[in-house]
Each structure stands twice: as C-alpha cells, then as structure tokens.
A and B are shown apart, each in its own frame.
Chain A
Amino acid sequence: MTYIAKPRLHHPSLACNALGYTRRDYEGRVSTLCAGCGHDSISAAIVRACWELAIEPHRVAKLSGIGCSSKTPDYFLSPSHGFNTVHGRMPSVLTGANLANRELLYLGVSGDGDSASIGIGQFVHAIRRGVNMVYIVENNGVYGLTKGQFSATADAGSVSKKGVVNTDAPLDLVGLALQLGASFVGRSFSGDKEQLVPLIKGAIAHRGAAILDVLSPCVTFNNHAGSTKSYDYVREHNDSINRLDFIEPRAEITVDYAPGELIEVTQHDGSLLRLRKLDAAYDPSDRVAAMNYLHERQAAGEIVTGLLYVDEGAQDLHAHLKTVATPLNTLDTAALCPGAAALDRINAALR
C-alpha cells in the first residue's frame, strides 16, 4: 500500500527520449518494498530500458502474480495497465491478454515462489507456446511476503535466516527455459544494472518467449551468511559470460572490435544485439552448448549470467495459431458474425 504520493514535478534539465518523455514518465508509485530490496533495482532497470527504447508507456501491459515481486508493476510505468492476477497464474493471464491484442508489449513480472513452485506449470507451458513476452523472474530463493520460507529455487545446503538448512534440490529456471524452447534466455543480477538494462532491452525487442532470471537478494530474509542468494554470495560466484550492447535499428554502428571478441545478432525488428564475449568459447546461438555450459558451471559452484541463448528467427504463438494481424479485440460484428443467411444454410443442413 502506498501512502506517499510521488511529486509530479520534473526537473527541467531531465533528458527526453525520442517521444519527448523523461524517465519520470516511466516511473510508478513509491515502492513499499524493504529498503535495499533487489526488486526495486529491477524496477529501475525496467524504467530505464523502456525510456531508452522510447516505448510508449501505455502500449505496455504489465502483469504479475502474487508476492513481493508481483507487487512491483505498481512501482513502474504508471501510464500502463497493470494486472496483479492470481498466485502462480500470471503466465496464463498474460497469454490470454496477448491473444486479445498482439500489438501491445507484454511484460510479466514474477518471483521464484510464484513461478517455480505454485506456478511452475504455467511458467513451463507459456514458454513452450512461445508467447511473445518479456518474463522476468525476480529470484531471491525465499518467500518474503510470508516471512522467510525457502522457495523452490533455494539451493540445497543454503541456510535460512532461522538457521534451517534446505535439503531439497533447487529448480533452475534458466536451465528449464532453455530446455522448454525459450527463444531468448538470460540471467542477471539486480546489483548489476549495466548487464541487466541491455538484457531487458534485448528481451523487449525479441519476438517470442524471452525469459530473464534475475537474482534479486531479499535484504530482510535471505541476505545473511550461509545464503546462496545474498548480495555477497552472488557477487562472489557470478560468472558473467558476455556483456550485451543493445543497438536500436536506426543507430549507426561505429565501434570496432577484434574478430572473435564479438557476436552480433540481428533480431526480427532490425535491432542488433552486440555481445562482447567474456568467455571466448561461449556461443549463445547454440542451445545445447548453452545447457551444457550452464550445468558445468553450476557444478563448479558458479552462477552463469549474461545472454545465455537467443534465436533471432523465433516465431511466436500468434504465428503458430495463424491469427490475423489485426488485434482480435478490435474485430467488429461484421468481421466475426457470419449472419442470418449463413445460419439459414446451417439450419437447412441439419434437417
């Protein structure tokens, strides 16, 4: 619940994007999360990515489930319609919304409890279908809103604030997304905005299911020694495989790199993903290699971050269903109703 209203006044020197909007136009209400919560950094990254891409804020639909992370759509993009749905069921609502109007940008925000436990089925099937969306999991390994129970992404051996050791094997949402056919898969860390913002921009420009697993420490219930989702732990074990530069279609490309240092991926809208390799052997267009790499590094105790996989030629659910280009919610009676004469013919065939 937000009691404090944000002042609407802008500083005159605030920069404007191509649409004439300042970054403030992409903000939301004042966050009610704990001070230092990783989720607030992710909200800020979303604001920055949308502002930099000059997305019309009202052309975004932001959807979430239930939990701390699912509260965040209220804290960014106030001019967008938002929908705080049912616990674990954001993917189906987002899928339906996307079917109704394929022209909006669908941003799903969820948490590890919402997506990896109660909502694992919907997470899985929305990815399988190739719903055109940006799906961000704000992953902290813990149920924050109910005060500190382990979630399904908590690592075995991780210790809770109360001293309980988690014995269950963890779910790896990135590994799962790769296996399920997600066409844009990235992992990042709420504390690394330079990595996160370009990843969000790439995901927005991507057509298909774009999954971002963002480690986002819970400062209140999971930021202590013994936790594998704390700020310190993630920083120490972060194995960043590449640095992404997102280049819009209209931008001129000027920087030169030595061969082998760079991978360029052109997405369907003409935008360019330029990856500066931190690991020379890593190829983000190879799904199987990505899965292997992920498992190897995981076994070594590392958390792989960066753009793990991208398929620039991916098709989305609308292409699979062959729906018309016109948004279904704008079709009128004439386009939908076959009329009385057709009904007479049906009647005649049923006699």
Chain B
Amino acid sequence: MNPITAVNDFVVKFANVNGSGSASANELFAKAILRMGVPVSPRNIFPSNIQGLPTWYEVRVSEAGWLGRRGGVDLMVAMNPQTWDADLKEIEPGGYLFHDSTKPLPKSKFRDDVRVLAMPITQICNATYSDPRQRQIFKNIIYVGALAQLLGIETQVLETLIGEQYRNKPKLYEPNVHALRIGRDHAREHFSAAPIGLAVRRADAVGQRIFTDGNSAAALGCVYGGATVCAWYPITPSTSVVEAFDKYCGKFRTDAASGERRCAIVQAEDEIASIGMVVGAGWNGARAFTATSGPGVSLMTEFLGLAHFAEIPATVINVQRGGPSTGMPTRTQQADLIACAYASHGDTRHVLLLPQDPHECFEFAASALDLADRLQTPVFLMSDLDIGMNQRLCEPFAWDDARRLDRGKVMSAAELEAGKDFGRYKDVDGDGIPWRTWPGTHPSKGAYFTRGTSRDPYARYSERGADYVYNMQRLLRKFDTAKTLVPQPLSRKAARATAFGAIHFGSTAPAMDEAISTLEADGLALDTLRIRAFPFADSVAQFIAAHERVFVVEQNRDAQLRSMLINEFDIDPARLVPVLHYDGTPITARFIIAAIAGQLREAAPHLHPVEAVRA
C-alpha cells in the first residue's frame, strides 16, 4: 500500500476525551494552517456530556477551498483508547495514525495499510511536569507541536497564535510555547528520517475571509439589527448565541461610566416563557429575539400562532439539531423546516430565513429583525449545529452605515392626532400589512385590544364569518408581500445546458458546491438553486419548471423542503427527486455525488447522448 501523499488537501481527525482541554489545542492547529493561507474547515463532533466521553475534531485542509465535510480520514490523532478500534477503521488506506505510545499495544491493534507515528506523550509529560493538571493539559499542545513538525506548519505562526490567545494572561504564554517545542523537537528527532506524505505549504487561498462560528455571527447580527430584548432557555446547540449576544452587548451596549446596558437579557424558566417575553416586547415596540432548537420550538408553538394571528414581531433563531424528541442533541440536521414553517394550530405560516454560513447568519439575523417589524410576524433564522457551533471560513461581515432600523408601519402620536384613520387589522396599503400603534402612544387615540381571537379590521372582537375570512385573506396577502422582501434564491448555471437541476439550502451549500464541481469535471452538468427563504420566491417555481428533473438535497429523512415545494407550488412530486442525508453528520460532496451521479448517467443517454458517452 502506497502511503497517501497530498499537499494542502487532506483530512486530520483528532480523537479525544471531552473535558481534557483538547478543544483549544485543536483549534490552534486549524488556525495555524489558515494563517499559512490554506483554507480549513474544522468540525467538532461532541457528545451531550461534560466530561469523560469521546469527542472528535475533524479538520479538512483544502487549498481548493472546499469547506464541506469530505468523509474519510488521512491522519488520525488517536488520543482516546475508548474509540481506538472505530477510529482506526476510519483511516483511508495508506493513511497515518498518530498515537500516544506510552502504553504498548499489541500488533493486532494496528493496520498493515496505515503508517503508525508513535510518540510516548504521557511519558514525556510525566517526565516534564509534576502537576497532574499540567500533565494532562500540555499533552494536547505537545501533539500539536509534533504534528506541526510532521506536516510543515510553521512554528512561528503557532507561537504568534499562542501569543494572541494569552494576550491577557502572559504567564501562560511561555509554558505553552515550551510544550509546543517539546513536541516539535521530539518529532524532529524521531520522524525526520521518514517524512510523511502529507504537507501544509504556504498559499494565498484565504484572502479577506474570516473564520468564525454561526452562533456568534447570529448574535452579532442581532446587535447590529437593534435587538434590545433577548429571552431564552439553555438548549444545545443554540446556547452560545445568547452567550455571544451578552458578550457583544457588554462591549457595544454598555455605558462605561454607569454600567447601564441598552439591552435586557433574561434567562426564562422555559421556552414558553422565552417566546412569551419576546412577544410581549415585540408588542410593546422593542426588537426582541430568542435562540432555541427543535424541542424549544415545539414548546413555543401556541405562542407562535398567537404572534402570527395577532401580528406581533418576533425573531426566533433555531439552531437545528437531530430530532425528533431529544433526538441527537449534539448532531446536526435540517429537520425542523415543516415544524417552523407551519408552527401552531389553524392555518399558520411563518417566514424562514435559511443561512448557509456565519456570514449569512449575521446578515440574516439583522434582516430577520427588520422583517419581523416590517411584516409584524414571527421570523425564523434556521441555522443548524454544523453552521452554528463550528468555525467556518466565510466572507467578512459587512454593514452599510446608511442603513436604519426598519420599524415598519408604526403610527405615531402626531399621525393619530392629525386624525389619520387607525384600523389595527385593516389593509390600507394593499400589501396585507396593517398599521399598528405601540402602547402609550396617544392619550385618547390608537389604543386597541390585542387578542388571539378573531376580530374585525378595527380590532373589535368578532365571530362573524366575513370578518374572519377578510383577516385570513389579508394574512395570505401579507405572506405574498413577504415573498418579495426575503432573501432571494441564488441560482448557478452549469457550463452547458442541462435538463437536471438541484435545489438545496443552508449548511448543505459547501458540500453541494464541491459536488457540482466534481460532477462537472466528470462531464455531468447540473444547474443549482440555493433557496434562502420561505415563502419561496416565484423564481423557485420557474427553476423547477425549467428542468425535467430536480434533485432536492437536504439533511432530514422526510424530504421536508421537497414536501413544502410540492405543497406551495402544487408540483408533480415525480419531478422532485429527494436526496436525503440524516445520520447526524454533516452532508458530504461524496454522498451527494454517489446519490446523483448514477441517475445523471442513467438518464444521460436519453437527454444528452454525447455527454453520456464521455461520462
């Protein structure tokens, strides 16, 4: 078996025990490669647990810029005996296994087609440190030093990063650099004679892009979007949204002298109270949001129906995880689409925004707050664990200082005083969006009673059928207006005309981009459309109409996006072919290609005989 050789194009996976301090060392490894101008996409694969269970950190190095998960492992850093057997199996033939060889293992525990890089890390640590905590924590930095030597990661880059990390704790700089050098020197001494085939080489493929996670990006978007009230309940994988919001508010919304804050963050007793507070704040004119995941949305549904029907702005960030029920709380999925789009009893519909990466998490979070006010309705930001909790290379955040918060149709005291007609649920502009007043606006005009029961256009309680139907029709018109305000889908045409299309959304994007490129190199053309919001723009229907067959690629079992497309556009289901990935790991280009390529080839003789021969 020939050992794998690759420059700037391989996968390293770290198998650790959670709570052992490996996360920051692994991140240091990934960032160092990025600083050398080579794109990386790391992914945390972690259990719902605090200490002692297996956790992995998978780093894809790709100068070509593919940021989706690739699948397979070229270099396994096996630091967890519990998962040794499974970790060993995952290594590609010709790959490498780096491990702590302090305790010898029988030959049966290894593979013939995998090169072993053995380093007695525990022994080195025990010889170097006397404090048990240090013995544990520096193991991680030592292996990073060794890997840097093996792969050609520049020591100076790593030391600069350590300096940045401990800018405020200079005492920690020296010991970390020392540990790094121990690892590097040991590797230099023991592995230099037979270098490995994987290498990192300086490149210029990162550019101005930033490296951040979707949850903190969404939180920053809420700061820029003017959110002042945040009510939430802790739930993986959304908790870090609020932690980041709190951190940014400390920085940007706090008066240095008085310590007073231009925000209110309340940890509620449950998700029902979270959304209740958001609805109360939205009713009273503040921009409010909550961050949650699937089980939280389930609890919120009664309130979501109220907010839809009583027309109250609310922003809900749903960082999706594996469902149903508690499901796979630390694994990723896109399986809450239907639950959110149609949340609550009766005929309800909600606006969904579907970001592909942290850049869009920022942009869409700020937009969600504007849209919620403009449309006076709940707006969901549908992130997921893959985007939310992993650092991802993406375009830098952008903001136009000329932009103002769009507070929507709010009637002022002066307008009321001037005698402007106020019908809270009356469509005066033809777009289905009525005017509202905030409590306390005017001494004698503009007050109304908000309720979840039916009413007439002047907000007077009514059970008359005609009043109810007027309102429900107006809500539909409003949803039509929403179509034009939400982020529009982005299409990408194949180099050649093709009868095949693929629709995808959210975190599937990087894997999809890579799959398309690979298929094209293989002579298989596919147009793609990335949907970025619900309600779907008319261009989505046009895209489907323009192709004989459209693959709908998504990360859930029941083809939820496909069902919504069929439902909303009344499309013949046979034209939409589901491509479904839902094992909790992020979808890969390999998976998409395997699912699509066969069908493309099969149909190709009929559709494109020339290409079929080439394929």
Contacts and interface: CB of A to CB of B under 8 A. Distances in A.
A240 interface: no
Contacts of A324: 255, 260-262
Interface string A204-245: 000000000000000000000000000000000000000000
B288 A336 contact: no
A59 B208 CA distance: 51
Contacts of A91: 273, 276
A58 B447 CA distance: 8
Nearest to B34: A351
Chain B contact residues: helix, strand, loop or mixed: loop
Interface string B375-409: 00000000000000000000011111101110000
Contacts of A58: 439-444, 447
B273 A121 contact: yes
B265 interface: yes
B447 A336 contact: no
Contacts of B405: 332-333, 336-337
A328 B283 contact: no
Interface string B287-304: 010000000000000110
B306 interface: yes
Interface residues of B, number: 74
B416 to A, nearest CB: 11
Interface in A38-82: 56-59, 61, 63, 73-74, 78-82
Contact of B264 (A84, A104, A328): A328
Which size class do A's interface residues fall under?
35 or more
A280 B285 CA distance: 48
Given A100-B284, A101-B286, A85 B306 contact: yes
B189 to A, nearest CB: 34
Interface stretch (A148-156, A170-178, A340-348): A340-348
Nearest to A125: B269
B440 A96 contact: no
Contacts of A83: 280, 283, 449-451
A14 B281 CA distance: 37
A340 B401 contact: yes
B273 A122 contact: yes
A89 interface: yes
Given A59-B440, A93-B283, A321-B264, A328 B229 contact: yes
A248 to B, nearest CB: 21
A161 B199 CA distance: 84
A138 B271 CA distance: 26
Contacts, number: 232
Contacts of A305: none
Interface stretch (B13-21, B95-103, B218-226): B218-226
A94 interface: yes
A99 interface: yes
B11 to A, nearest CB: 23
A275 B269 CA distance: 36
Contacts of A12: none
A96 B224 contact: no
Interface string A235-269: 00000000000000000000000000000000000
Given A96-B279, A321-B265, A323-B261, A338 B228 contact: no
B453 interface: yes
Nearest to B437: A81
A256 to B, nearest CB: 40
A347 B281 contact: no
B438 interface: yes
A86 B449 CA distance: 14
A79 B437 CA distance: 12
A93 B273 CA distance: 8
A35 interface: no
A92 interface: yes
Given A100-B281, A340-B401, A350-B210, A82 B449 contact: yes
Interface in B450-472: 450-453, 461-463
B212 interface: yes
B284 A97 contact: yes
A103 B286 CA distance: 13
A95 interface: yes
Contact of B284 (A322, A325, A329, A333): A329
B447 A89 contact: no
A61 B303 CA distance: 19
B272 A92 contact: yes
A86 B286 contact: no
Given A58-B443, A61-B440, 20 more contacts: A58-B444, A74-B449, A78-B447, A86-B302, A89-B302, A92-B268, A92-B274, A97-B284, A100-B288, A104-B284, A121-B272, A122-B273, A317-B266, A318-B264, A321-B261, A323-B262, A328-B262, A329-B285, A336-B405, A339-B399
29 contacts: A58-B439, A81-B450, A82-B449, A85-B280, A89-B303, A92-B231, A92-B277, A92-B280, A93-B283, A94-B280, A95-B280, A96-B279, A96-B280, A97-B280, A100-B282, A101-B285, A101-B286, A124-B269, A322-B261, A324-B261, A325-B260, A328-B262, A328-B286, A329-B281, A332-B405, A333-B404, A339-B401, A346-B220, A347-B397
Interface of A: 1-2, 56-59, 61, 63, 73-74, 78-86, 89, 91-101, 103-104, 121-122, 124-125, 129, 317-318, 321-325, 328-333, 335-340, 342-343, 346-347, 350-351
- Which are the 7 A-B pairs with shortest beta-carbon distances? A96-B280, A92-B276, A100-B286, A96-B277, A81-B439, A329-B285, A93-B280
